A and B are shown apart, each in its own frame.
Chain A
Amino acid sequence: MDNLVIAGKTYASRLLVGTGKYKDFNETRAAVEASGAEIITVAIRRTNIGQNADEPNLLDALPPSQYTLLPNTAGCYTVEDAVRTLRLARELLDGHSLVKLEVLGDPKTLYPNMVETLKAAEILIKEDFQVMVYTSDDPIIAKQLEDMGCVAVMPLASLIGSGMGILNPWNLQIIIDNAKIPVLVDAGVGTASDATIAMELGCDGVLMNTAIAAAKNPVLMASAMRKAVEAGREAYLAGRMAKKLYSASPSSPVDGVIARSDTVTAKPATNKSA
């Protein structure tokens, strides 16, 4: 079987999905189910104090017994906040150590601050976290993160939530070619073809949230993404044909094409008014 292996654990699905921005937990669950994802990201936030104690809980809709929950550090701009958030997440999830680290640098672009990300990754790895790390598409940084002991590198395809697709396939390709750990495109996928392109490049998986949640029909888009990731993976494994610039090659036999007669020639039209 062609499985995704992260930190020694095997997953049949190469599509990872977020759980943010849905209308309600029913829609979240329906979209997650349609996506076929086994790893789903969650955020860690302060609970509401003193209001609506019976508020529904995400983990009731998506139980940790059925999914691998991947807590993230979305919204963290410092090493300290990111590390504290993931320590809380590990306690919340009964010692579960697989996490998604992101340290953001700028609220407008949500671009990762790689200097801070490297520092946070080092601390977390020392504390035995299994770190899947959101990164810029810089091949040198991606390799450093791998060498430090991150279990997966997750370069952006374009800005978080932008839906701009794969803006720099060349950098992604270098990262993929250099890596011995899984490379997942995280952020920027807008529609199914973007996910397919990422997988055709040789990515091990794709992580997305907004492309599904912000679609007009999120559940249908989740199903489309599942197929797109599978199609891209199969195309990658199959190995695409070489591109032949300005050189057509017929798919059907050249010989044996029927013809009325070898002598048939077009007659010139006569111009009666001349």
Chain B
Amino acid sequence: MIQLTINGQPQQFEAPINVSQLIDHLALHGKRIAIERNGEIIPRSQFSQQILSHGDQLEVVVAVGGG
């Protein structure tokens, strides 16, 4: 069991997962998003390689209206 904090909310997972699996789990597949892990950008090209670890802090962002 691992715990990730995603946009400030804790979530538990049965087993370690990679970023692509997390995106599918969050139903964000195909969406234009960017992800930061513990303060570092995860390039899109590395989504399937990076395995997330217990305690990781993730920020998942989109573009919204703003001035």
What interface size band does chain A fall in? 35 or more
How many residues on B have C-beta within 8 angstroms of the other chain's C-beta atoms? 26
Interface string of B15-50 (1 = CB under 8 A from A): 000000000001110011111100101011000000
User: Contact between A45 and B44 (Cβ–Cβ < 8 Å)?
Assistant: no
Interface string of A42-73 (1 = CB under 8 A from B): 11111101100100011100000000010110
Among B9, B34, B65, B66, contact of A92 (Cβ-Cβ < 8 Å): B34
User: Contact between A46 and B67 (Cβ–Cβ < 8 Å)?
Assistant: no
Residue of B7, B26, B34 with most chain A CB atoms under a 10 A cut-off: B34
Interface string of A212-229 (1 = CB under 8 A from B): 000000000000000000
A208–B66 Cα distance when bound, in Å, is 10
User: Contact between A41 and B62 (Cβ–Cβ < 8 Å)?
Assistant: no
Known A47-B28, A74-B67, A91-B44; 14 more pairs at CB < 8 Å = A42-B65, A45-B61, A46-B60, A47-B60, A49-B9, A49-B60, A53-B26, A53-B27, A57-B63, A58-B64, A59-B32, A84-B39, A89-B34, A91-B35
Residues from chain A with Cβ under 8 Å of B27 in the complex:
50, 53
A92/B6 contact (C-beta < 8 A), A19-B66, A49-B60 known: no
Partner-B contacts on A (CB < 8 A): 18-22, 28, 41-47, 49-50, 53, 57-59, 69, 71-72, 74, 84-85, 87-89, 91-93, 160-161, 207-210
